[in-house]
Chain A
Amino acid sequence: MSDTIVNPSPLTLRDLNTENPRWCAGCGDYGIIAGVKRLMVDEQMAPHNTVNVSGIGCSGRAPFYINAYGVHAIHGRANTVALGLALMRPDLNIFIHSGDGDALSIGGNHLIHAFNKNFNCVFLMYDNEMYALTKNQTSPTTRKDHPTNTQPTGTYLRPFRAVSLALGCGASFIATTADWMPDHMLSTIRAAYHHRGFSFVHISQRCPHFDPENFDHKSSAWFSFLQHPQGIEPDKRLKDKTQTVLHDPSNAEEAFKFSEDGRRYFGLYYRNEQKPCYDDLLRRQITNAKPGDHNAILDRFEI
């Protein structure tokens, strides 16, 4: 997916700045776009060959804060737009930015098919476990009993487990990280970027405005890192403060167990490099077809 930069001077973080984001102070989204920008600089990605695609929500604004091409599309449908780019412009680097409501609720149908289609892009799921831009409603990942504006006596249902969904749909790359561990996030996005296929990155993201108690980023006892030579290195700063668990990312069954056991793990759950990509398969239709004579398109209807 890399491309040579027309401008001979190397890309810097400053080149990627646009306006100041309109996110709240302390919002986890800052950390996520910082990770994407850092990756772009590390990889010297040409911004004009990079497209950030998003849906609606706080995360939806991300494309505006990275100086590359961008499509801030409609609610839940970023995947569909990104697929059009992946199919017809395989030369581009594509990042999708989608929140928990955007990805799992209104965009759920597109997400499950994106897992299966495995088209080439990095999908960043900003999971703050609530609807924020619409002001504090229950989302598919809101923890049970947590009160919101639509379920003030406490959220009724057990939260959706995005990783289990991805595993069940046969996703080819599933990793989790958090907005407050920049080192781990960068490693994760980098691994996702270098995976060919639909790379699903689940990011636990803080919402200091509506749900400041969620995600105690000062303590680390409540989560573990998944570690493996083929996996993603635990966060340098935090690895000694919590436990790490050995997990082979080729083992989907074990990945399911971690996803379902109720504890939070950060790391590479699953990777399958053999899964075919729909965009490659579809484009192969062209390379395999006998070229047609354009002037003869109506010949077969002659009588």
Chain B
Amino acid sequence: MSATAAKQLKEVSVTRFELLMDAGFGAQKAGDILVQAFAHTGRFVYIEPMIPAEISPPSRSRPALSGVIIRVADFDVTNIGNSTDLILASHEIVLDRRLDDQEETPNCCILLDMCDYENNKESYDQVIARAKKTGHKIHKFNVVPEAATAIKSLAGKGKNIYYLGMLAAIYGMPEETMIKEITATFGKKLGEEILQKNISLFHHGHQYVDDHFDLAYKINPRPLDPAKKKILIDGNTSMSMGIIDAGFKLISGYPITPASSIMHTLAKVFPSYGGLVHQAEDEISAIGTAIGSYYGGVPALTCSSGPGISLKQEFIGYASVAEIPIVIIDVQRSGPSTGMPTKTEQSDLLAAAFGSHGDNTKILISVANVIDCFYAPQMARYLTEKLHVPVFIMSDFLTANSYKVIDKLQVNQLGDVNDIKDFVLERFHIQRLPDHIEMVRLKQSAPGTPGEMRRVTGLNTDEQGKVNYFAGTNHRAHAVRNEKIHHVRRALLKPEMFGPEEGEILVVGWGSTRGVIEEAVAKLRKEGKPVSGMHLRIVYPLPLMLKDIFKKFKKVYTVEVVYGDQYKPPPLAMLLRSETLVDVHALISKASGRPIPPRLICQKVEEVLHV
């Protein structure tokens, strides 16, 4: 295989590829540069980074796998898709590890760097044999000698840029666009000499593919609207910016993957917008301090993940009873306990909705993509300040870390929560709440207000805020708190639906599964299958008309990234069953830590359609 002339040009609407390297060598950085070039030339991208749970595991070990999965298309992609058509791996170990996940398309094309072959012949041969046995094509290559020397002079760094050159050539990205992106990314940080070395590495990689690789992809561009500015952003960063835009002034958290990056992002910029980042001594303290701030009238939130949510539960119940607003971001990960901290899961739904002690009231907003992440903090602030009820923003590892190129979002600068924009409410499928909401206690002022001295407590109190344990007042307090949630139930509009509102099968999901449900339903409907989809943005409480919608389908199924089996309905199925008394089952309840591919939904729907 040589000669450019023999190149096979694959024109595709959508394709997915991966760059696999050892942690710490810049695979994700290379991916960032490439997707910016894709976006600048009118292609759509969805990116999922693969991050090791440890910091820097030894190179050439299976836990060291770090990389990026990129799905590029000529249409707006909403998820990471089904399978990988091409893999570029820096050595055989990371490839071997990734093959375990079985996410390749049959006949996947694998470019394998043979750099370590001399000392690891047996290992290389085994992995190559494994890949070939699965039917994949292996293209072995070595970094050209001039480039290898340059990489050595950079202490092993720069290989990612060589690979970037290769990928740019394979996916038809113009060299001048790529050089511009590389310069924009490294120009200021690296200095001229190192930048030039990197640019040269890029050219070498590009040239190698031009000369020695016989496959190229063509993804047709969409014309770009030059008036529309685009941004590249991941879920947690979008959430961080949304926190500023929503008018929060304090984020109080404790380090936990995958929520910490919200604190990291805000630590750099929040003070410029009058906000503070407080790292507490533990999870309980973190939420306590946010509650203190909100009691003082200053909007505050806390962010965490499963184990941290468990620790915060007593305070969450307390805030509900004391009627202090509070927002909790839960970036879910695979659990329980530490579980798989860099893998995704939707397993905190019931803990968030029904956790804490006694009867307590909460609202759960879920986010499906980076745009939701930006607006969810406004939605949460609106609900918590109107109702004085704890509000969760349920994200997950996938949404938090995946990034997309999107049209630049409208900034709102929310002050008084009553000024929340209609389009934000519409995004979460809810109407404005009534002006007056009854509280357990008449006094709800923040300190500093003369004559309104408000003393809050977890003890039962009457309307005046006086502690009492009478049956009537206790029951009233519960009723008033629950009525707040009923206000939300009544305000909820019909959830987002894909396809008609009646048919054979309805597939329901929440949070990060939105994109795959949308894509799978679209494909099935194209094939004439009577299938519709539903996605819940606010996932607790549920809208009152849900049962009526469900009744118009023969079967209702959920799709969830969480464990479930024939005797154990996964959380969403359990919730829907109990709220609607409809015999909802899980179509997919996988605790693989990996996003659900749309193809799996299609396959399972076919199975149940033929039952």
**Which A positions have Cβ atoms within 8 angstroms of B?**
6-7, 19, 46-53, 63-64, 67-74, 77, 79-85, 87-89, 91-92, 109-110, 113, 282-283, 285-286, 288-292, 294-295, 297-298, 301-303
For the A-B complex with A50-B447, A84-B294, A88-B298 known, give 8 more contacts whose Cβ atoms are closer than 8 Å.
A52-B455, A73-B291, A79-B288, A89-B297, A89-B448, A92-B447, A292-B269, A294-B413
Q: Is the CB of B231 within 8 A of A49?
A: no
Q: B566 interface residue, CB < 8 Å from A?
A: no
Interface residues in B254-295 by Cβ distance below 8 A to A read: 269, 271-276, 278, 280-282, 284-295
Q: In the complex, what residue of chain A is closest to B457 when comparing beta carbons? A: A72
A82 to B447, CA, bound (A): 13
Interface residues in B443-486 by Cβ distance below 8 A to A read: 447-459, 466-467
Which chain B positions have C-beta within 8 A of A83? 278, 285, 288-289, 292
Which chain A positions have C-beta within 8 A of B458? 72-74
Which chain B positions have C-beta within 8 A of A295? 411, 413
- Given A302-B231, A303-B40, are A110 and B281 also a contact pair (CB < 8 Å)? yes
Q: In the complex, what residue of chain A is closest to B324 when comparing beta carbons? A: A71
Which chain B positions have C-beta within 8 A of A110? 281, 285, 288
Which chain B positions have C-beta within 8 A of A288? 271
Interface residues in B140-190 by Cβ distance below 8 A to A read: none
Interface residues in B227-249 by Cβ distance below 8 A to A read: 229-233, 237, 241, 244-245, 249
A85 to B252, CA, bound (A): 12
Which chain B positions have C-beta within 8 A of A92? 296, 447-448
Q: Is the CB of B455 within 8 A of A85?
A: no
Which chain B positions have C-beta within 8 A of A286? 271, 274-276
Q: In the complex, what residue of chain A is closest to B280 when comparing beta carbons? A: A80
Q: In the complex, what residue of chain A is closest to B406 when comparing beta carbons? A: A301
Q: In the complex, what residue of chain A is closest to B245 when comparing beta carbons? A: A297
Which chain B positions have C-beta within 8 A of A63? 455, 457
Q: Is the CB of B292 within 8 A of A301?
A: no
**Which B positions have Cβ atoms within 8 angstroms of A?**
36, 39-40, 229-233, 237, 241, 244-245, 249-250, 252, 269, 271-276, 278, 280-282, 284-298, 300, 314-315, 318, 322, 405, 408-409, 411, 413, 447-459, 466-467
Q: What are the 3 closest A-B residue pairs judged by CB atoms, nearest first?
A: A84-B292, A80-B288, A292-B272
- Given A81-B288, A88-B293, are A297 and B241 also a contact pair (CB < 8 Å)? yes
Interface of B is mostly: mixed
Which of A7, A282, A302 sits near B450, CB closer than 8 Å?
A7
A63 to B457, CA, bound (A): 9
Q: In the complex, what residue of chain B is closest to A75 when comparing beta carbons? A: B314
- Given A47-B453, A292-B273, A294-B273, are A89 and B318 also a contact pair (CB < 8 Å)? no
A80 to B512, CA, bound (A): 33
Q: Pick 27 A–B contacts, CB within 8 A, sort by A.
A: A50-B447, A63-B455, A71-B295, A73-B458, A74-B318, A77-B284, A80-B285, A84-B288, A84-B290, A84-B294, A84-B300, A87-B278, A109-B285, A113-B285, A282-B278, A286-B274, A291-B272, A292-B272, A295-B413, A297-B245, A297-B273, A298-B231, A298-B241, A298-B409, A301-B231, A301-B241, A302-B231
Q: In the complex, what residue of chain B is closest to A117 when comparing beta carbons? A: B281
Q: Is the CB of A71 within 8 A of B272?
A: no
Which of A67, A85, A298 sits near B292, CB closer than 8 Å?
A85
Q: Is the CB of A89 within 8 A of B413?
A: no
Q: Is the CB of A77 within 8 A of B288?
A: yes
B530 to chain A, nearest CB (A): 41
Q: In the complex, what residue of chain B is closest to A113 when comparing beta carbons? A: B281
Which chain A positions have C-beta within 8 A of B271? 285-286, 288-289
Which chain A positions have C-beta within 8 A of B408? 298, 302
Q: Is the CB of A91 within 8 A of B315?
A: no
Which chain A positions have C-beta within 8 A of B233? 298, 301
Q: Is the CB of B229 within 8 A of A51?
A: no
Which of A47, A49, A72, A77 sits near B285, CB closer than 8 Å?
A77
- Given A109-B281, A303-B405, are A89 and B314 also a contact pair (CB < 8 Å)? no
- Given A74-B314, A110-B281, are A289 and B409 also a contact pair (CB < 8 Å)? no
Q: In the complex, what residue of chain A is closest to B455 when comparing beta carbons? A: A70
A106 to chain B, nearest CB (A): 10
- Given A69-B453, A80-B292, are A87 and B273 also a contact pair (CB < 8 Å)? no
Q: Is the CB of B291 within 8 A of A81?
A: yes
- Given A80-B285, A84-B292, are A48 and B449 also a contact pair (CB < 8 Å)? yes
A303 to B289, CA, bound (A): 37
Which chain B positions have C-beta within 8 A of A19? 466
A248 to B39, CA, bound (A): 69
Which chain A positions have C-beta within 8 A of B280? 80
- Given A72-B458, A74-B318, A297-B411, are A283 and B276 also a contact pair (CB < 8 Å)? yes
Which chain A positions have C-beta within 8 A of B451? 48
Which of A64, A71, A109, A285 sits near B276, CB closer than 8 Å?
A285
A92 to B39, CA, bound (A): 51
A290 to B249, CA, bound (A): 16
Q: Is the CB of A84 within 8 A of B291?
A: yes
A121 to chain B, nearest CB (A): 11
Q: Is the CB of A87 within 8 A of B276?
A: yes
Q: Is the CB of A87 within 8 A of B250?
A: yes
A85 to chain B, nearest CB (A): 5
- Given A83-B289, A282-B276, are A64 and B467 also a contact pair (CB < 8 Å)? yes
A80 to B281, CA, bound (A): 9
Q: Is the CB of B231 within 8 A of A69?
A: no
A102 to B413, CA, bound (A): 40
A233 to B363, CA, bound (A): 54
- Given A47-B453, A84-B300, A85-B293, are A301 and B315 also a contact pair (CB < 8 Å)? no
Q: Is the CB of A89 within 8 A of B296?
A: yes
Interface-centre pick from A53, A282, A295 (highest chain B CB count, 10 A): A282
Q: Is the CB of A72 within 8 A of B276?
A: no
A27 to B582, CA, bound (A): 58
A26 to B456, CA, bound (A): 26
Which chain B positions have C-beta within 8 A of A51? 296, 447
Which of A69, A109, A285 sits near B455, CB closer than 8 Å?
A69
A270 to chain B, nearest CB (A): 22
Q: Is the CB of A91 within 8 A of B278?
A: no
Q: Is the CB of B457 within 8 A of A64?
A: yes
Which chain A positions have C-beta within 8 A of B457? 63-64, 71-72
Q: In the complex, what residue of chain A is closest to B287 when comparing beta carbons? A: A80
A260 to chain B, nearest CB (A): 26
B303 to chain A, nearest CB (A): 15
B114 to chain A, nearest CB (A): 34
Q: In the complex, what residue of chain B is closest to A76 when comparing beta carbons? A: B284
Q: Is the CB of B456 within 8 A of A70?
A: yes
Which chain B positions have C-beta within 8 A of A297? 241, 244-245, 269, 273, 411
- Given A63-B455, A298-B231, are A82 and B292 also a contact pair (CB < 8 Å)? yes
A298 to B373, CA, bound (A): 13
Q: Is the CB of B318 within 8 A of A73?
A: yes
Q: Is the CB of B289 within 8 A of A87?
A: yes
Q: In the complex, what residue of chain B is closest to A289 when comparing beta carbons? A: B271
Which of A48, A81, A303 sits near B447, CB closer than 8 Å?
A48
Q: In the complex, what residue of chain A is closest to B296 when comparing beta carbons? A: A89
Which chain A positions have C-beta within 8 A of B454? 69-70
Interface-centre pick from A69, A91, A294 (highest chain B CB count, 10 A): A69
A180 to B405, CA, bound (A): 69
A85 to B298, CA, bound (A): 9
A302 to B39, CA, bound (A): 11
A92 to B449, CA, bound (A): 11
Q: Is the CB of B237 within 8 A of A71?
A: no
Which chain A positions have C-beta within 8 A of B287? 80
